[in-house]
Chains A and B, each alone.
Chain A
């Protein structure tokens, strides 16, 4: 049943969505299997510094002689944790707020919608820079802050969907027959909400990964995590890196993997959006 559904989605994807999905799966594999596909330590020096790719070091080494391929494989874990963590937290929170607003209506809805409006006009990167600077940038803090500033998107979509569903005959009927609020929400609304929520969460994950990379790039990443953004930050901080050949691996590979991951997520998300909600597929 599950496999059937997956193959159905696969068939509905465009070529770009498929490419995105394959790249995403490969990167997830890289993150999960990191200890098995690397042969150098990812956190301590294992050779001469700034060695070009080749030999024992697949992608070369950085200025401390740490193997880049290992760093990138383990760095993939950071990106995925941030993406997944934020998407789950914000998706869940947004879904609860959205359902509550749409289902309750009245002043609850009005207050929540104003709150969402406020969140939307906030310039999020500067806010996150401030919060990360004040509260310290452990991975956990970054995920919490990211989630705090991204729940408004799923909340809006979920609310719109709940509003539409509430007027459906079968839901009105269920209420007339005495179905409680929780019963209606879990039995009738939730199954309809899951597809659009999942798509929104893919978007959230992409956004979270970009923002984490941006924060790390600004020097606000978790210094113990060694994310891709942090490798880029170190490489760019190496003074005069462009006057040396070092950027050809030290800067290029983390950049490449980050761009691949983000583009793959975006392409897949765009495609799934079209499948889940044909209304917005005009684009």
Chain B
């Protein structure tokens, strides 16, 4: 078992890789920034004089040696300076902060909903293993989890919003409606419903399979037999003894899936024209606003990494078996099994 410090160091290295990539990408691009600043198609092309070029190079710090530029970039980042968007004419950090709540709302709601869906259906399937109910649920979950979220979103949008008119077609809230209080909350939930349902359905398949599999394994363990022999009620056996063990691997699973969830959210937001970071990312791509694009990327990557690290540390305190080398021999097979079942869906 690796220790905590090493784990944190690993995440820091990952973050550094991402930040470094972000730093070098614009510098690796073919062409010169002074060509980019000048003119659109059809416009008179502005050429920079020698003095202007030197002025701008000094202004953006491009005349300094690369290591110094890199260091400045890093210190800027720690102060929350993500650069300046030249399309929106505003600080990247400020633009992102305005859009972040929408994405956060969607991702957290979808994570919770997919957890609930996965646990409820997974345990339902496991208790009735091999019955037709189990098979039907399994089939349903597999098919839905294999269709990528944005295609599922297009289907839901067409069916429930365009054809049936049950949900709004786009956006995060009704503008200029002047809703306040409860009305406003209802309006926001109404808009969020379809995107969140889409994302959770597409993501709950993995949780469902994990719960179903671990519960089945747990049910076959000796201590379950003991519990039954002690005459415990079915309820107590199921929820106190079995579920508790089956839910543990979910912590890591949910965190591992978060990367995919964020990717799905980026696409789903665009299907529903939802005003979060994913939508902003597409707009930034459309107008080629590179600083903004990079800022969004950094924020998303940082969020995913932080969540993963937290889950990792949380899991350690949650599961006494992973604490400091206890039961060292028994650890390995358990781990292998987890890895085995996780890569099936990775």
Contacts and interface: CB of A to CB of B under 8 A. Distances in A.
A263 B154 contact: no
Contact of A121 (B143, B155, B305, B344): B305
A124 interface: yes
Interface string B119-153: 00000000000000000000000110011101100
Contacts of B18: 122
A118 B258 CA distance: 14
B256 A120 contact: yes
B300 A126 contact: yes
Given A218-B281, A251-B154, A283-B212, 15 more contacts: A114-B13, A120-B256, A122-B18, A122-B259, A122-B301, A123-B260, A126-B297, A134-B28, A153-B346, A156-B339, A156-B343, A213-B151, A242-B158, A242-B169, A279-B340
Interface stretch (A49-57, A80-88, A182-190, A265-273): A265-273
B207 to A, nearest CB: 12
A129 interface: yes
Given A133-B288, A214-B267, A242-B162, A262 B148 contact: yes
B26 interface: yes
Interface in A190-235: 210, 213-214, 217-220, 232
Contact of B304 (A121, A210, A220, A273): A121
B151 A133 contact: no
A23 to B, nearest CB: 13
Interface string A101-138: 00000000000001001101111111101110111000
B21 to A, nearest CB: 8
Given A122-B18, A156-B343, A280-B341, A262 B304 contact: no
Interface string A55-99: 000000000000000000000000000000000000000000000
B293 interface: yes
Contacts of B11: 121
Contact of B148 (A121, A153, A210): A210
B161 interface: yes
A151 interface: no
A262 B152 CA distance: 12
A171 interface: no
A270 B142 contact: yes
Interface of A: 114, 117-118, 120-127, 129-131, 133-135, 153, 156-157, 160, 210, 213-214, 217-220, 232, 236, 242, 247, 251-252, 255, 258-259, 262-263, 266-267, 270, 273, 279-280, 282-283
B293 A283 contact: no
B8 interface: no
A9 B12 CA distance: 45
A124 B263 contact: yes
Nearest to A255: B154
A118 B17 contact: yes
A117 B10 contact: yes
Given A118-B13, A262-B148, A263-B147, A133 B285 contact: yes
Contacts of A236: 154, 271
Contacts of A210: 148
Q: Give 10 nearest A-B pairs by CB, closest first.
A: A125-B263, A266-B146, A242-B162, A123-B259, A123-B304, A118-B14, A210-B148, A126-B300, A130-B297, A126-B297
A170 B191 CA distance: 62
Contacts of B142: 267, 270
B148 A129 contact: no
A151 to B, nearest CB: 13
B332 to A, nearest CB: 12
B216 interface: yes
Contacts of B271: 236
Contact of A127 (B13, B161, B297): B297
Nearest to A283: B209
Given A214-B148, A214-B267, A247 B158 contact: yes
A16 to B, nearest CB: 8
Contact of B147 (A122, A131, A259, A282): A259
B294 interface: yes
A251 B271 CA distance: 12
B229 interface: no
Contacts of B151: 213, 255, 258-259, 262
